């Protein structure tokens, strides 16, 4: 009986440790995701700005006369 309780106690301790590590990993992943999403938004804004500038420049190029 003592051996069974000891084994159960060890399994519970392992579970608690695994749970803690997974929580830490999950938090880190959430932070990484938030950073990546922010970077994605920033890059999308830069692309939109570049697109606007390019369209503006293209509109200033005279068209070919027929």
Express each pLDDT in 7-53 by its tens digit. 999 999 999 999 999 999 999 999 999 999 999 999 999 999 999 99
Query: Is there a domain that residue 61 lies in?
Result: no
pLDDT band at 63 (very low <50, low <70, confident <90, very high): confident
Query: Is there a domain that residue 30 lies in?
Result: yes
Angstrom CA distances, 20 to 7, 9, 23, 27, 48, stand at 20, 17, 5, 11, 42
Query: Is there a domain that residue 10 lies in?
Result: no
pLDDT band at 65 (very low <50, low <70, confident <90, very high): low
Angstrom CA distances, 65 to 61, 62, stand at 12, 9
Query: Is there a domain that residue 26 lies in?
Result: yes
If you write DSSP's letter for every residue of 6-55 in order, what string do you get? HHHHHHHHHHHHHHHHHHHHHHHHHHHHHHHHHHHHHHHHHHHHHHHHHH
Range of the domain at 39: 17-53
Q: State residue 13's pLDDT score.
A: 98
pTM of the prediction? 0.69
Q: Give how many domains the chain has, as a whole number.
A: 1
Query: Is there a domain that residue 40 lies in?
Result: yes
């Amino acid at each position: 009986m003592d051996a069974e309780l000891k084994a159960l106690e060890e399994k519970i301790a392992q579970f608690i440790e695994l749970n803690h590590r997974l929580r830490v990993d999950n938090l880190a992943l959430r932070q990484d995701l938030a950073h990546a999403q922010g970077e994605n938004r920033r890059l999308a804004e830069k692309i939109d700005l570049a697109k606007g500038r390019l369209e503006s420049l293209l509109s200033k190029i005279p068209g070919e006369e027929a």
